Structure 1
């Protein structure tokens, strides 16, 4: 069984190379990475949610059309195919990361602890703020507990873990986006949501501290996307006030909020670098990578007339409805997913994730201080 899983993962990696542009082949191999570890939410989940509960197993992510473009079956990835973490693993010359909740999987080259719908703050802290976390209780702190359970099972002692993890790359996030999304869609004001930022940033910094203390040397901490450009927000907060939109028809107030979160996150990262001078801590700029994708969409093969429409969805200007989301009965899928940026109004298509991953590698590789 284990051999079968390894062969399947290697086959996926080899097949996926054909999906990469010529300039993209294994740029992270200069880092000589042995493992990659991922914490986060639906942007990175490769199958934990659908395995952790009956609710997860019944979610749309557990069935087609999710996964249909590449895997031809649902894997728990919240897209039509591969995610950024998949392309990042391939760029490092490693197999795709298995979800930690797959008890039959091999974790020789790292593990994925991300859970779709998860939050940076524990659910009980959100509950005190009268914010419910409707998808999962596996917040960042829970994922960290899973990670350390895993490390305790593979390391003899602290020194052994430091040795085992010295050639690893850790991604702490993206995380926190769901905290804000749940708050906004449950009626919290922008001022109330903005007041959550310091606490969420500190939760992310605490996670970075924990992985460094366990032996992590290279850590990437991604920021938030420009959420005002996403169909779910464009639909949920639609307004007739044209001044509320920027030149890309994104909601300015929501994008300003994302920038505020990212600014706070970057300042906290700079402080953490002083705290841990021997660790390499890199900010992952999802915000500007996505803005670059919007600006370069036509040159990257995307349909310029449908940049803010969901491929899998129905209704309204953005082909999205909260009442009938992707995976619901009779919700159609577009004919050419690789021509659209948004898959289901919340997550991106495989093609968009591929372009995003390439841009992020381009930006972060010099900062990782790998051998040339």
Structure 2
């Protein structure tokens, strides 16, 4: 076969998939906010955009690479003025918990809460926006059925509220059934609005984050995983969340057999980064921050000189790091994770699979 014909077939194949979705809609927190909350300046955004955009990274996020992969533009934040939402919108907010603030007020955990944008509130915003995009309820159902929905990650800020509020992990674990139920309810509301293609990410192994490793770095070697050197108790919390979330999604899938509800495995991919960083080109590993206070401890993270604050600096080669600022990831890590969702194996079937669209 001639090379020109082969290239034509490959490009036609990709185009066919890229046109399968007429829009992309995203819900979540700082891992996917593209500008609903803008709290930091450069060096955030330096790698790709050249200026800060509200993204918590040096460049593009996973949702940006998903949009590119299916042939759609980067998502405008839903609060953007004079933006077109005909091909999608982003409802994620930095610091958004899955649960409403009342849940935490009732438990004496109000301190630290500042963005009240729960799963249900984000779906409310989506529902209010829809008529301006597609018109009548039936037209909107048809439109939504041809769109891809990414619901999450949710949960990280819920657990942080308890952990940083001084609660023990065993008590914070009691939030997990409430959080995963709220996510499932949000997914079901979107199905009711016409969604038939949904990706629902779990949470990351936060015990591998430089922030947690710095704050809770104890002397007991049994606190750490032997292969990862990550904090076991925090990763157990993440694992518990993901287990309950998958059960909720399995329940929904049985209830709505005509709908594709796919779990995105953040946890396994990040674990692979930690266990075998060189496989991905991460010469500086996964446990050291790129943007932070230089030389501050083994994780290069300092709460008093965080990324974009006085005394912080950016590592010479960002692409060799997984962690950007101790909590969020680099563009390089986002690109690799997005490929695992678009082509597998961390979404099954993958987004660009012939069996992933009903």
Whether TM exceeds 0.5 here: the answer is: yes
Question: Equivalent residue for 2:44?
Answer: 66
1:243 aligns with 2:227: no
Partners of 2:119 and 2:139 lie apart in 1 by 25
1:96 is paired with a residue whose SS is coil
Question: Equivalent residue for 2:192?
Answer: 213
Alignment of 1:158-169 (within 5 A): 158-169=137-148
2:250 is paired with a residue whose SS is helix
Question: Equivalent residue for 1:344?
Answer: 325
Unaligned runs of 5+ in 2: 1-9
Check 1:371–1:284 CA distance in 2 against 1; reply closer, same or farther (3 A cut): closer
Contact in 1 for aligned 2:27/2:151 (Cα 8 Å):
yes
- TM-superposed deviation, 1:143: 1.3
Question: Equivalent residue for 1:366?
Answer: 349
- TM-superposed deviation, 1:142: 1.9
1:104 aligns with 2:82: yes
Check 1:334–1:263 CA distance in 2 against 1; reply closer, same or farther (3 A cut): same
Alignment of 1:131-146 (within 5 A): 131-132=109-110, 133-146=112-125
- TM-superposed deviation, 1:31: 7.0
Encode CA deviations 1:34-93: one digit per residue, 9 max, x unaligned. 11100000000000012xxxxxxxx22xx1010011101000000000000000111101
- TM-superposed deviation, 1:27: 9.0
Encode CA deviations 1:271-293: one digit per residue, 9 max, x unaligned. 11122122111111110111122
Check 1:261–1:115 CA distance in 2 against 1; reply closer, same or farther (3 A cut): same
1:220 is paired with a residue whose SS is strand
Question: Equivalent residue for 1:37?
Answer: 25
2:120 is paired with a residue whose SS is helix
Contact in 1 for aligned 2:22/2:147 (Cα 8 Å):
yes
Contact in 2 for aligned 1:113/1:146 (Cα 8 Å):
yes
Question: Equivalent residue for 1:78?
Answer: 56
Partners of 2:113 and 2:214 lie apart in 1 by 20
Partners of 1:296 and 1:84 lie apart in 2 by 21
TM-score (normalised: structure 2): 0.90
Check 1:46–1:31 CA distance in 2 against 1; reply closer, same or farther (3 A cut): same
Partners of 1:261 and 1:48 lie apart in 2 by 26
2:85 is paired with a residue whose SS is coil
1:221 is paired with a residue whose SS is strand
Check 1:296–1:33 CA distance in 2 against 1; reply closer, same or farther (3 A cut): farther
- TM-superposed deviation, 1:186: 1.3
2:21 is paired with a residue whose SS is coil
**Aligned residue pairs: how many?**
339
Pick one of 183, 188, 201 that aligns with 2:162: 183
Partners of 1:67 and 1:251 lie apart in 2 by 29
Question: Equivalent residue for 1:291?
Answer: 271
Check 1:26–1:297 CA distance in 2 against 1; reply closer, same or farther (3 A cut): farther
